[in-house]
């Protein structure tokens, strides 16, 4: 049914009438119970999946950087015309809304 070694045994716990397998660690020097080993084994056997997920995260990060640069550039272009005017003050009509 599973691993019957003395280091790790499986015990069934019932939560809301669903059996959940919980790995219980018997090791006192490794409180993680081998989770690092499982993570490294998963990385080794599922390289393609992790490569795909990593590339998607990298592409999203690049997209955020590009959109951030684009939005700040558009704001600077919109305001630059007003900043270059050789005036000391602006006058607005009485009913003008200010942001």
Q: How many CB atoms lie under 10 A from the CB of residue 34?
A: 14
- Residue 67: the pLDDT is 97
Structure letter (DSSP) for residue 90:
-
- Residue 69: the pLDDT is 95
Tokens, residue 50: 């992790």
- Residue 70: the pLDDT is 96
Report the predicted TM-score, pTM, of the whole model to 2 decimal places. Answer: 0.47
Residues 6+ apart with CB under 8 A from 92: 98
- Residue 44: the pLDDT is 85
Tokens, residue 67: 């959109």
Tokens, residue 63: 């997209």
With a cut of 50, list the residues of the chain below it in pLDDT. 8, 12, 14-28
């Amino acid at each position: 049914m599973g691993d019957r070694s003395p280091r790790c045994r499986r015990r069934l716990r019932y939560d809301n009438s669903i059996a959940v397998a919980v790995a219980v660690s018997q090791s006192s020097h490794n409180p993680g119970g081998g989770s690092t080993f499982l993570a490294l084994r998963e990385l080794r056997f599922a390289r393609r999946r992790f490569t795909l997920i990593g590339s998607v995260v990298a592409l999203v990060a690049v997209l955020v950087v590009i959109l951030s640069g684009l939005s700040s550039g558009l704001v600077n272009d919109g305001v630059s015309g007003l900043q270059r005017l050789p005036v000391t003050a602006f006058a607005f009509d009485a009913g003008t809304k200010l942001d």
